[in-house]
Amino acid sequence: MKTIREINEKIKNGDAVVVTAEEMIKIVEDIGPEKASAEVDVVTTGTFGAMCSSGAILNFGHSDPPIKMLKIYLNGVECYGGLAAVDTYMGATQPNSDPDIDIDYGGAHVIEDLVAGKEVELVAEGYTTDCYPRKKVRTTITLEDINQAILLNPRNSYQTYNAATNSRDEKIYTYMGTLLPEFGNINYSGAGQLNPLQNDYNRETKTYNTIGIGTRIFLGGGVGYIIGEGTQHNPDNAFGTLMVKGDLKQMNKKYLRAATIPKYGSSLFVGIGVPIPVLNAEIAKCCAIRDRNIEVPIIDYGVPRRDRPVVARTNYEDLRKGEVTIEVEIEGKKVEKTIKTSSVSSYKVSREIAKELKDWILKGEFLLTERVDVLGKGSAKPMKSDVKLVGEILSKPPIVAPISITIEEASKILIKNNINHLPIVDEFGRLVGIITSWDIAKAIAQNKTSIEEIMTRNVVTTTVNEPVDVVARKMDKYNISGVPVVDKNNKVVGMVTSEDLSKLVGYTIKW
């Protein structure tokens, strides 16, 4: 049994034995956890991936005359202005206020530019008071011009993360990257056997052996600290998170990188490394976790709900092979499919972080700290919010027409029922197309003679269990005003139109 104080003395004297989490696997395999705990003093870990719940506290100092900043922009990205006069919080995922730039340059990019030593434009305004007579300020600043620049991240270093796939027949864009139609790919994230929380996790007690409040860490290329469990911390399900802070002025853009996730938004790739003191055999055993032992659920992001279905379960070792074979459901049939996998985080950089932290400790440049308290149990409860489903508002019974109908007959149905959309079905009642009153008008002008010539075949549809918000987004995305509601057999059970949705917009937010 060792203590952190004893390990620190060995570090100061140049006698400490420090290995990375990858190296520890073989040591424990060769000599067992008991001997490994006697031989090894510190195991270094590392992770590097998109950590959206990140940002920076900045203090600009007072202007002359002073200003009480309320609306604050750095390179066009809005910051939070409710912190006294000249403090602000820049969130990594905040988009640009310029609609032509939007998500292509956000808060994460401002943070990276500051760390890279670039000039950033500061624009701010507020209301005037006797002690803050200035209303507006516009200037350029660098990181050195800022008094305090504190990276303060509410949720980083997920212990495990779900893999993502997509059952829809269309490509979708998510924070897990681009997901191809019909289970065309699987994206995953996380450092697996190098992850800090994985290596410190006691699977019996569902707690962490050494990591806690006050643990000194590698953060963005500089020194940082764990200041608590992160938001949505859920150790009971091995989904722990960390809340961290560090001095932005110490950091290196190699380990703090901005990214724009296509059609989703900006994020900040953060490098985190945590040293784990090997105080006993149990800790040594935990530090020998392998990718193959870390389960990763594959979630269907094609279902736009909070509780998405688990398609299959795999592990990091199989995911890193580049493809996995799982059973999926396509068009109502269970089929075995081999699917390409790719990581949206960097195992290579995670490994470099573990190695760099190891070098710091071996050189005596980094000492370990005793935690002042353990990480809490946290909470990952869902939000209490109402959801309105399509089944609650669809027009019933459905008004449909057979594919054999004439254009004239179709126009009479539209007029008689005072509708603008007419789903077209085959002899089994399955949706094959849709026409609108505009299609009828064009058909007459262009001398079309059959429904098949004018109907839209690739119909955007919905189901009774889909949220109304999702349908509204579909209408906006595809610039349409009506969506047929179908069942699992593609039979039309109703219709939702923009008029139906407009009836729901009858509330206002009161502050």
CA dihedral 150, 155, 159, 162 (to 10 degrees): -130
131 is catalytic: yes
Cβ neighbours, 10 Å, residue 133: 11
Q: Which helix H or strand E contains 341, and what residues bound it?
A: strand 333-343
What is the rounded CA–CA span in Å between residue 319 and residue 205?
28
Q: Could you tell me which residues come within 8 angstroms of residue 83 by beta carbon, excluding any fewer than 6 positions away?
A: 57, 89
Contact 172, 301 (CB under 8 A): yes
Which of 138, 121, 160, 149 shows the shortest CA–CA distance to 60? Answer: 149
Burial of 343 (0-12, 13-18, 19+ CB in 10 A): buried
Say which of 52, 79, 131, 287 is annotated catalytic.
131
Rounded (5°) CA angle 288-356-346: 70
Q: Could you tell me which residues come within 8 angstroms of residue 310 by beta carbon, excluding any fewer than 6 positions away?
A: 297, 298, 299, 300
- CA 366: distance to chain centroid? 31
Could you give the residue numbers annotated as active site? 131
